Structure 1
Amino acid sequence: MAVIRRRVASRGLAAGEKLPSIRALARQMQVSPSTVVEAYDRLVAEGLVRARPGSGFYVAGFAPAALHAEPAPPRDRAIDPFWVSRQSLDAAPGTLRPGCGWLPPDWMPAPVIRRALRTLARAEPGVLADYGATRGSPALRALIARRSVADGIEIGAEQVLLTSSGTQAVDLVCRLLLEPGDTVLVDDPCYFNFLATLRTHRMQLVSVPYSPTGPDLDAFAEALARHRPRLYLTNTALHNPTGATLAPAVAHRLLSLAAAHHLTIVEDEIFADFEPDPTPRLAALDGLARVIRIGSFSKTLSASIRCGYVVARPDIVERLIDLQVATQFGGPGPMAAEIVATTLADGCYRRHLAELRTRLARQRQDVAARLGTLGIVPWTVPRGGFYLWCRLPGQRDAADVARAALREGVVLAPGNVFSLAQSATGLMRFNVAQMNDAAFRVLRNALDG
């Protein structure tokens, strides 16, 4: 390939000129004909060479397009949910990301995933090439159903629908249950992509202050009576961004209010596996009458293997299936589902979770102590997970601190991207697993600046 490229670049081979035959080039370079065939095929894929059946290979009329560096995400745009997402997802190599929402690669169970990939390589051809069933992999749905039963939610696999991600699960539920202009209730603060997703559906958003034990119930009741929302979207197990845990009394009162006002609750449990002990699940207390449970495996297994799920009443699942077929012709591909199912069934994955909880507990304690030396104080002490929701010292504006840190190659998550009411100016979410000495140095400089 290098020889052909050099000849084209030096004009030793002109556009349209026929290349040596496979056998002739193999003799000339003292390689096997199969090596030349592969080289020519790759050059065809590059666009440098064209194949003419029955005639041979010819130099194309243009050089292959060069790979250019990806443009950096714009830094001067407003600091909103998309700012944090794009700075984190499109970060240049070497960028530190304490503001992102996932664990570093070396915290994830790579050996378990590699074993699952080897198993996948031996799967029947249909798994590697076909569309999947409309509900998704039966094996994975059965595993999710068993996990739900362990949480007190008595369901079968028929009440589980696989999706391509947790975000897509939220999107499908919104498409099914809401019309543009409907009102949706969210926590303040809440996961910033909830706000981004709901705005794409042109919803009217109303927020309720969140406390260390759950939403402010008086404000919640007032919002229900005044705005009559159709949907409430929340995390209950290790709330994002605060790390708070829903108290049992708050959960019961929340469900009573939802029933009285015909409110549907979407409970995102994506962080549930990080809890040392399970806490009350709205879906379990409600029996899925008014609650829809969603989740994915991007936080504990791999963000690269896109696979989420919905657990709901049978009638809702049936309608979601039709909607998912209409919008993307089924759920996640069989390959992703098979990798997840194989990994979850591996005893090593359970040990990975136990080790992860222990490691994160130490990291949270260490990072909280080091933040304390900078005058940064946690809003609450989480029971698990990898977030610390913290108040900055003095009257510092977290957005200004985030801009200063980004100039030094560190992505932070300032409070107001999580707040519909823009009431979190002095707060910031830190991913403890992404905090290291360099991140602390930049954070200190940003605070001093």
Structure 2
Amino acid sequence: MPDPRRAGARTAAVIEAIRQRLATRALAPGQRLPSIRAFAATMDVSPATVVEAYDRLAAEGVIRARRGSGFYVADMALPPLALVAGEPRRPRAVDPFWVSRQSLDADEGTLMPGCGWLPADWMPQDALRRAVRAVARSSGPALTDYSTARGSGALRRVLQGRLAGLGIDAFSEQIVLTSSGTQAIDLMCRMLLRPGDTVLVDDPCYFNFLALLRAHQARIVSVPMTPSGPDIAQFETVLAAERPRLYITNSGLHNPTGATLSLQAAHRLLNAAAAHDMLIIEDDIYGDFEPEPSPRLAALDGLQRVILIGSFSKTLSASVRCGYIAARPDWIEPLIDLQIATGFGGPGQFAAETLAQVLTGGSYRKHIEELRARLSRARPRVAARLQRLGVTPWLMPRGGFHLWCTLPEGCRAIDVAQAALADNVVLAPGDVFSAAQSAAMMMRFNVAHCEDISVIAALERAIN
């Protein structure tokens, strides 16, 4: 006589397999489930077991039977997408969203040395006002219409020229505008990744890379960062062992470390990527802060397996949102279709045309030169103040506004950040940036926001 307990266990296993496919989006609403006989063969159970499992899921409203057609996923079958699914619960201070939420929701009087953008009075507000007025006076569709599928032709032509200056040969038709740099990465992840795919990141890396990859249910592996790029020996070892589908990095000025990729490291990195058929997303959002351009993977690779993305939120405006993707020609049409499906196009014409006005008006070059000079004065000044507290920069970057620092012996960055928050100061603890959670004594500082001496005073209280 069959053991009912074993039969129940087999039915439960089939049900769990279906629920897992729903959770990972392998089965979508309206999609037909495998036939009873096919799934019975897959699960190595009898057809009667699959019938029992399907009937139970139908009773719960998870799937629906269609006479003569089979079983289909119900419209409301998918659970909410958990951005941290499979991750252990951690204190909020080391969650990748912690710094973002504290910075975005900060009151007017909050000091934000942990945020990732420049103060408003460092931005070219007069140039932005002139550009907004010029676009507003235009008789074209910029005030009312959707953007074209690729985005503003004027801005794409500007970007084509800027990329040529970095040694990247890309036609304007190879450039797609997006609503932001983050959306550019999201679109590439949607196109290239499936749940469970392995993605390689630097350790540390920009914390929103980690948040976004978890939203895509990717498996994250990391390699330590050095002053000249990722540790190449470990990089090659990880590629051989883990076979990642994708690598995401900054190469101009690395966030959060400020490191610069060397030419030697870039060549070895690309050779390893080619040997293991790995794609690369190169985020160039900090490139304009460099005094002289460093090697770009996209230039050395010719946009074959490297996708270049960027935006102007760090140098012009985080309010006028616009990003871009430069990629090989055969990827452009699928990218455009994907962007239409998920956002009905990229940035609005008003934003794109406003940025094009600023970039072509002659004031942007002067603004960038002034930013570089101002930051070159601020970096050593802030570093000296931090060192008096025992906070030591990991390196002195050649550009940009980040200092990646080691705290005094015995100080945990999480504790310091939480103590500073009580003093109305937002800091960026190191483990927020570390997939391996290996940066407990590290912290990223924004030197432009550390000019206020109140920041140093609050940090001293938090450390002591």
Q: Same fold (TM over 0.5)?
A: yes
Check if 1:91 corresponds to 2:103.
no
- Cα distance in structure 2, aligned partners of 1:125 and 1:134: 17
Amino acid at match of 1:303: A
Q: How does 1:217-256 map to 2 (within 5 A)?
A: 217-256=232-271
- Cα distance in structure 1, aligned partners of 2:343 and 2:175: 18
- Cα distance in structure 2, aligned partners of 1:442 and 1:203: 38
- Cα distance in structure 1, aligned partners of 2:285 and 2:121: 20
Q: How does 1:14-29 map to 2 (within 5 A)?
A: none
- Hey, what does 1:441 align to over in structure 2? 457
Task: Select which of 214, 217, 223 maps to 1:208.
Answer: 223
Amino acid at match of 2:347: P
Q: How does 1:12-161 map to 2 (within 5 A)?
A: 77-161=92-176
Task: Select which of 204, 207, 230 maps to 1:192.
Answer: 207
Q: Tell me the TM-score normalized by structure 1.
A: 0.82
> Residue 295 of structure 2 aligns to a residue in which SS?
coil
Shift of 1:112: 0.3
> Residue 81 of structure 1 aligns to a residue in which SS?
coil
Shift of 1:215: 0.5
Structure 1 unaligned spans of 5+:
1-75
- Hey, what does 2:273 align to over in structure 1? 258
CA RMSD of aligned residues (A): 0.8
Check if 1:180 corresponds to 2:199.
no
- Cα distance in structure 2, aligned partners of 1:360 and 1:150: 23
Q: How does 1:254-293 map to 2 (within 5 A)?
A: 254-293=269-308
- Hey, what does 1:369 align to over in structure 2? 384
Task: Select which of 364, 383, 389 maps to 1:349.
Answer: 364
Shift of 1:93: 1.6
- Hey, what does 2:404 align to over in structure 1? 389
- Cα distance in structure 1, aligned partners of 2:372 and 2:384: 18
- Cα distance in structure 2, aligned partners of 1:132 and 1:394: 53
- Hey, what does 2:428 align to over in structure 1? 413
- Cα distance in structure 2, aligned partners of 1:344 and 1:177: 31
- Cα distance in structure 2, aligned partners of 1:425 and 1:395: 10
Shift of 1:219: 1.0
Shift of 1:78: 4.4
- Hey, what does 1:15 align to over in structure 2? none
- Cα distance in structure 2, aligned partners of 1:201 and 1:149: 32
Shift of 1:117: 0.8
Identity %: 63
> Residue 92 of structure 2 aligns to a residue in which SS?
coil
Dislocated runs of 4+, deviation >2 Å: 76-79
- Cα distance in structure 2, aligned partners of 1:252 and 1:433: 33
Q: Is the 8 A contact 2:93 2:432 kept in 1?
A: no
CA displacement 1:210-234 (0-9 Å, x = unmatched): 0001001111111111111000000
Amino acid at match of 1:81: P
- Cα distance in structure 1, aligned partners of 2:332 and 2:258: 30
Q: Tell me the TM-score normalized by structure 2.
A: 0.80
Shift of 1:125: 4.6
- Hey, what does 1:31 align to over in structure 2? none
- Cα distance in structure 2, aligned partners of 1:396 and 1:105: 32
Amino acid at match of 1:195: L
User: Structure 1 residues 163, 94: closer, same or farther in 2, change over 3 A?
Assistant: same
Structure number with bigger Rg: 1
Amino acid at match of 2:458: V
Amino acid at match of 2:462: A
Shift of 1:395: 1.9
Amino acid at match of 1:94: G
Check if 1:323 corresponds to 2:328.
no
- Cα distance in structure 2, aligned partners of 1:92 and 1:359: 26
